[in-house]
Chains A and B, each alone.
Chain A
Amino acid sequence: SQQGEEDPQALSIQEGENATMNCSYKTSINNLQWYRQNSGRGLVHLILIRSNEREKHSGRLRVTLDTSKKSSSLLITASRAADTASYFCATDGGAQKLVFGQGTRLTINP
């Protein structure tokens, strides 16, 4: 089974609202990353949080990491139609093995 599991599987919100996606994982990690995918294209890296960090910001993105609960969340503030995409978390448990979750499909309605 996959290391990362996102929820919800799908999320639909109005433009301007905030979107929160969650990721849970099973084993210890060095870091956790979030990626975005538009319409079946290649994934694009959004943000990385190390295992010794609890929160990180990048523009409208905020990521938290709780290693005791083995979970992370991605918050997108003030959503835009262009944020419509699938979002995936990925975990690196060491030895360069990078494993992805099943993703959250985010739809921003105008």
Chain B
Amino acid sequence: NAGVTQTPKFQVLKTGQSMTLQCAQDMNHNSMYWYRQDPGMGLRLIYYSASEGTTDKGEVPNGYNVSRLNKREFSLRLESAAPSQTSVYFCASRGGGSSTEAFFGQGTRLTVV
């Protein structure tokens, strides 16, 4: 049971480059999330998708776009990477209803130089 899988695990980008972070879950969860975590900090919500076909902004959406491709997959795109987007990105998924726990991927460490 893979759970939540993120790819890639590591990435170095040059300022201005674009890339897409991929996330897939195999738990048939309705909700999926993208967070970023800066050193010594908590997780900040970038975007989330409460169900297939919907996406909503979180706390720090600027500079990012998302796509809920299907129920399994939720991708995060950086159109023009900036050094301020250097961070660890976590994808998470959650089943139906608000009283459910979130399951996390192992993270993508992104460095923008």
CA–CA, A94 and B42, complex, Å: 21
Find the A residue at minimum CB distance from B43: A100
CA–CA, A99 and B43, complex, Å: 8
- Cβ of A95 and Cβ of B56 under 8 Å apart? yes
Contact string against B for A residues 43-61, beta-carbon threshold 8 Å, 1 for contact and 0 otherwise: 1110010100000000000
Say which residue of B59, B88, B94, B105 sits within 8 Å of A96 (CB atoms).
B94
For the complex, is B25 an interface residue (Cβ under 8 Å from A)?
no
B17-65 residues with Cβ-Cβ distance < 8 A to A are 30-31, 33, 35, 37, 41-45, 48, 50-51, 56, 58-59
Residues of the B chain whose Cβ atoms lie less than 8 Å from the Cβ of A4: 42
- Cβ of A103 and Cβ of B42 under 8 Å apart? yes
- Cβ of B99 and Cβ of A31 under 8 Å apart? yes
B contacts with A: majority SS: strand
- Cβ of A33 and Cβ of B43 under 8 Å apart? no
Say which residue of A43, A50, A92, A96 sits within 8 Å of B43 (CB atoms).
A43
CA–CA, A48 and B31, complex, Å: 17
Total count of chain B residues near the partner, CB < 8 A? 31
Residues of the A chain whose Cβ atoms lie less than 8 Å from the Cβ of B42: 2, 4, 6, 88, 100-103
- Cβ of B59 and Cβ of A2 under 8 Å apart? yes
Find the B residue at minimum CB distance from A4: B42
- Cβ of B58 and Cβ of A97 under 8 Å apart? yes
For the complex, is A110 an interface residue (Cβ under 8 Å from B)?
no
- Cβ of A42 and Cβ of B104 under 8 Å apart? yes
- Cβ of A43 and Cβ of B104 under 8 Å apart? yes
Residues of the A chain whose Cβ atoms lie less than 8 Å from the Cβ of B101: 33, 45, 48
Find the A residue at minimum CB distance from B99: A31
- Cβ of B35 and Cβ of A100 under 8 Å apart? yes
- Cβ of B44 and Cβ of A2 under 8 Å apart? yes
Residues of the A chain whose Cβ atoms lie less than 8 Å from the Cβ of B51: 96
**Which A residues form the contact surface with B (CB < 8 A)?**
2, 4, 6, 30-31, 33, 35, 40-45, 48, 50, 88, 90, 92, 94-103
**Which B residues form the contact surface with A (CB < 8 A)?**
4, 30-31, 33, 35, 37, 41-45, 48, 50-51, 56, 58-59, 88, 90, 92, 94, 98-107
